[in-house]
A and B are shown apart, each in its own frame.
Chain A
Amino acid sequence: GQNIDQPTEMTATEGAIVQINCTYQTSGFNGLFWYQQHAGEAPTFLSYNVLDGLEEKGRFSSFLSRSKGYSYLLLKELQMKDSASYLCAVTTVSGGYNKLIFGAGTRLAVHP
């Protein structure tokens, strides 16, 4: 079956670094996405990993290990506006097309 696990909630301090982990078990893996979602709003794209290793984009980095079925999102120099849910989503190939399967999301609270 398909399964994606990530912590339900995390808290961190403004200016600090936080790592949000995601483990997955899927068939036909074809990449992993991280989305940010503020309460009541649409998810917005943060990063995409298809090869093992670290992808860095400003304050955000995402890492993937395909052999371990593991990814993390690293947020540096946390700001209050980073308080949001972070969704891990795995792309699987099913019926000839790339289908996204979402984890339940990690709600991050950044406090002063």
Chain B
Amino acid sequence: DADVTQTPRNRITKTGKRIMLECSQTKGHDRMYWYRQDPGLGLRLIYYSFDVKDINKGEISDGYSVSRQAQAKFSLSLESAIPNQTALYFCATSRPTGTPIGEFFGPGTRLTVL
């Protein structure tokens, strides 16, 4: 079984629609992240959460919101999707302290906004 899962894996939607991307993990990590990836731009952090009661904006949070429903679940919402939010979205997790071990990534959600 995958340690970090994302649903849906692919989604096509129209401008103005509300979209929710979901992420679940079985790694027992406290920290969870949402990134988007665009060609030539690399991965950019949208939001991150250290635990259920801690939510922080990343570098490109405008137009997005998140919900940390439980330690294992972190959802990303686009309240009113627009075409430039077409991208590959990754959820990631990491352990909280000590030597950074990097982040473990989910399989990604390919979102297309028409």
Contacts and interface: CB of A to CB of B under 8 A. Distances in A.
Interface of A: 4, 8, 30-31, 33, 35, 40-45, 48, 50, 87, 89, 91, 95, 97-100, 102-105
A87 B90 contact: no
Given A35-B102, A41-B108, A43-B105, 14 more contacts: A30-B100, A31-B100, A41-B107, A42-B90, A42-B105, A42-B106, A43-B43, A44-B105, A48-B101, A48-B102, A89-B43, A100-B45, A102-B42, A104-B42
B41 interface: yes
Contact of A50 (B44, B45, B99, B110): B99
Interface string B67-107: 00000000000000000000010100000000111111111
Contact of B100 (A8, A48, A87): A48
A100 B48 CA distance: 11
Give 8 nearest A-B pairs by CB, closest first.
A42-B105, A104-B42, A102-B43, A102-B42, A98-B100, A45-B102, A33-B102, A91-B100
A33 B52 CA distance: 27
B64 interface: no
A104 B40 contact: yes
B93 to A, nearest CB: 12
Contacts, number: 49
Contact of A105 (B42, B44, B103, B105): B42
B83 to A, nearest CB: 20
A35 B105 CA distance: 11
B43 A87 contact: yes
A104 B90 contact: no
A42 B108 contact: yes
A45 B91 CA distance: 15
A8 B106 CA distance: 24
